[in-house]
Structure 1
Amino acid sequence: MSLYALDHVIAQHAEEAAFLWLLRDGAVVAPHYSLLDLTRLDTRVEAHLDGLCIAGEAGWAACSEQLEYREPGEVFVAAVLALESGEAARIRRVYEVVGAAPETQRGLVSAFGWVDRAWWRGEVRDLLVADSPFWRRLGLAAGSAQRVDPGRSLLAALEASDAALRATALRVAARLGRTDLLPAVQAQLTSDDEAVRFSAAWAATLLGDRGAAPRAAMAFVDADHPRFAAPALRVALRALPPNEGQSWLGHFAGRPQTLRHAVVAGGILGDPVHVPWLLEQMRIAEFARVAGESFTMITGVDLAYEDLEGEWPEGFEAGPTEHPEDDNVALDADEELSWPEAALVADWWGHHQAAFQAGQRYLLGHPLTPEHLRWGLCQGMQRQREAAALERKLLSPGEPLFETRARGNVQQQWLGLHTKNV
């Protein structure tokens, strides 16, 4: 093979690894990826990373060159190679790019979560004591990605003057199950900074607060906050008493700007009493697909597998259109969800509703027992798996939050699985 051909192959490894990581970055929150799907995608990423590693200096040169694009995927690939090499110059090169383009930081954090922690202990330790709050935030996030408790650095970050650092520390405390820090987390519920207030409400709820914290989180949903409403809803509604949750659903359903939150809330609450209303929403094109997802969250029925899908409604447009005067540039949030055929779903429900008890919460067709939540983590799709992880965390606030974004093979190890058994 000529030198040119070899360089071309190495460059392809770098490009494909970055592209597949970008695909993975979306897959971890997608409604159509399972743990097995994620594991297979991770295997493809690892194959290209192995090719770059085997190429030695030429592999690093290709990664370093692609860092000029300043994109998260390229940062991820270069960071994995740099961390696994242990070479200070390579790591410094990645840090320089991330420092100049902070929007790429999730690629670096993902790399810390990808490589074996033995490779990066010293690096994270150095980040945690950096002068810059930005790098200390990255250190906290990097350690949290592999369930590494930062110890005193976390305590210091909770008391930092930098709001972004405090917000990160709050979320890390919850992910690690640091219930001993609940009072310090609750103290931030009245912060002047909205990101800190949200993080405190989200974290305190997961750490066991069933009073002020979930209600503070619901305030973000009530205001339809563009950034915090959805994650606040997913956590807080699960922690509130069922009757209060139903009141929130009715409240959201009564306002056009929060109607989508009500549809999502039906699936979160998991009470089959809401199924008839969800069936009605399936007849409204704008909410049909997310109503179908909520129906599946409760019943566990796969709309595609059970032939309960319909066709894209004629004349309906979602996400960006081809009209030059249309200012809507938001992607279709429900792109990968099934289109439910409302009449067929209603017929299915008529034949199966006797198996469900009103007033009982269900996830994927079963009550929320620890055994079933583990099953959901093994067999569910990514959004369903996140729901199972949150429910399990709320049952055991002192345990780490199961990370459904971690490498597939690592998640399998946590669940005691082998690939062939997933």
Structure 2
Amino acid sequence: MAAETRNQKLEGAPERPIVPDVVRQHAEQAAFFWAQRNTLMVDDPPDLHVVAGVDRRLEANLDGLRIAGPAAWPFVVAAYENFPEKGELFLYAWMAIEQSNGRRMEEAVEFGRQSKDDARGLVGALAWHKPETIAPLVRDWIGAQDAFKRFLGVSACLGHGVDPKQMLARLVRDPDARVRAASLRLAGKLKRADLAKEMPAALEDDEEQPRFWAAWALTELGSGDLASSELRNVAVSGGPDAMTALRAAVKAAPDRDVRAWMGSLLKSPETAPLAVRGAGMLGDRTLLHWLIHQMRTPALAPAAGGALLELFPESREADLFTTDPSQLGQTFEDHFGDDVAKVPFADKVKAWASAGGWLAAAP
């Protein structure tokens, strides 16, 4: 009660004068930049140079809010009330943690509970703060009766690579599917070999997410032979975990088996883009001739571009892509319509590769 009263007094009586328009801009920009960062990190592969630039802008605006202190709260609250999305939830939770404001933190937890994206902004705020800063929250949450708080506790450990030790053995069998999934993912990230015996049983889980992360964890632990079927199913499904599943599926089986599987995917228009994208995960730069050929087919061009970026990260520095597919001709314009897509110029890629010595001769 004393801490809550202190927080209320701090919010109502700023310790230093502020310029409201400047603080409002810091709040809005911080929410925007974190949401942008989160979206950029979903790209496969992400452009980490661009992400680093966004991080610098985000941190500069968070510094402005730190300077404003409790006086920033009205602007943080208004931002969330006006636009309750992931960036604004990140801002709300980040500020609550920064100010050690228990009441606001509980509000952020409830906002996260109501969100439809696994409280991405709230989890992001936990990952942004230092482990020692959020440790008291995580200790309270990870063993809580509330399943959502347990999920937050495991997600915080996942964001920082922190091992909850013996507690993780219980969490991978948690009654809540979301907690099980996050815990299995954490076990794989930490390479907890002592929990490998839990994974085959988790592959039989009634829920898709625990099954998928059990398969992913088995691959991280070197037992991909048990996981290949589940990983391939998730990759082909085209859901939000498809690229993660594809990458794990490539890792889970011998190269010859993976290439044979991708060959089968190429036979269907629905799965051919997956095979083209997966080619970039093989680490075989001799596939460049073939990828350039795929770039000339509108349905395969975005996947071929992603494979190029993975095999040749240096290609980011060249002017090889457009987000306006109509620039590549009528066939591309007809295929994409008004949709925005990042597609490579096949001829530019060919010229760049030839100049760099990646192509011995023009195909």
The normalised TM-score by structure 2 is 0.83
Corresponding residue for 1:340?
346
Equivalent pairs, count? 342
Q: Is the 8 A contact 2:184 2:214 kept in 1?
A: yes
Q: Is the 8 A contact 1:250 1:262 kept in 2?
A: yes
Counterparts in 2 of 1:251-270, with a 5 A limit? 251-270=264-283
CA-based RMSD of the aligned residues comes to: 3.1
Corresponding residue for 2:80?
67
Change (3 A) 1:348 1:6: same
Q: Is the 8 A contact 1:86 1:119 kept in 2?
A: no
Change (3 A) 1:346 1:280: farther
Shift of 1:304: 6.0
Counterparts in 2 of 1:294-313, with a 5 A limit? 294-300=307-313, 302=315, 305=318, 311-313=327-329
Shift of 1:225: 4.1
Corresponding residue for 1:52?
65
1:116 is matched with which residue: 121, 127, 130? 130
Shift of 1:31: 5.9
Deviation readout 1:145-199 (Å, 9 max, x if unpaired): 1111122332222112222221111111112221221111232112222222111
Q: Is the 8 A contact 1:14 1:62 kept in 2?
A: yes
| SS, match of residue 103 in structure 1 | coil
1:202 is matched with which residue: 201, 216, 233? 216
Corresponding residue for 2:330?
314
Counterparts in 2 of 1:88-127, with a 5 A limit? 88-103=102-117, 105-127=119-141
Change (3 A) 1:281 1:321: closer
Answering whether residue 226 of structure 2 is matched by residue 220 of structure 1, we say: no
Corresponding residue for 1:135?
149
| SS, match of residue 125 in structure 1 | helix
Corresponding residue for 1:352?
358
Corresponding residue for 1:9?
22
Q: Is the 8 A contact 1:129 1:136 kept in 2?
A: yes
Q: Is the 8 A contact 2:188 2:220 kept in 1?
A: yes
Residue identity in the other structure for 2:175 = S
| SS, match of residue 36 in structure 2 | helix
Corresponding residue for 2:9?
none
Separation in 2, partners of 1:75, 1:255: 41
Separation in 2, partners of 1:350, 1:256: 32
Separation in 2, partners of 1:216, 1:237: 13
Separation in 2, partners of 1:65, 1:112: 21
Residue identity in the other structure for 1:64 = V
Separation in 2, partners of 1:257, 1:276: 23
Deviation readout 1:254-299 (Å, 9 max, x if unpaired): 1111000110121111234544432321211221232133234335
Counterparts in 2 of 1:18-33, with a 5 A limit? 18-30=31-43
Residue identity in the other structure for 2:191 = G
Separation in 1, partners of 2:310, 2:45: 13
Answering whether residue 180 of structure 2 is matched by residue 174 of structure 1, we say: no
If each structure's helix is expressed as a fraction of its own residues, which one has the higher value?
2
Q: Is the 8 A contact 1:279 1:291 kept in 2?
A: yes
Change (3 A) 1:308 1:84: closer
Shift of 1:210: 2.9
Residue identity in the other structure for 2:63 = D
Change (3 A) 1:261 1:353: same
The normalised TM-score by structure 1 is 0.73
Separation in 2, partners of 1:290, 1:137: 33
| SS, match of residue 302 in structure 1 | helix
Answering whether residue 286 of structure 2 is matched by residue 280 of structure 1, we say: no
Q: Is the 8 A contact 1:282 1:342 kept in 2?
A: no
Q: Is the 8 A contact 2:91 2:125 kept in 1?
A: yes
2:53 is matched with which residue: 40, 48, 52? 40
Separation in 2, partners of 1:11, 1:270: 47
Shift of 1:120: 1.2
Q: Which moved more, 1:211-220 or 1:311-320?
A: 311-320
Separation in 2, partners of 1:164, 1:117: 22
Q: Is the 8 A contact 1:267 1:294 kept in 2?
A: yes
Shift of 1:96: 2.5
| SS, match of residue 119 in structure 1 | helix
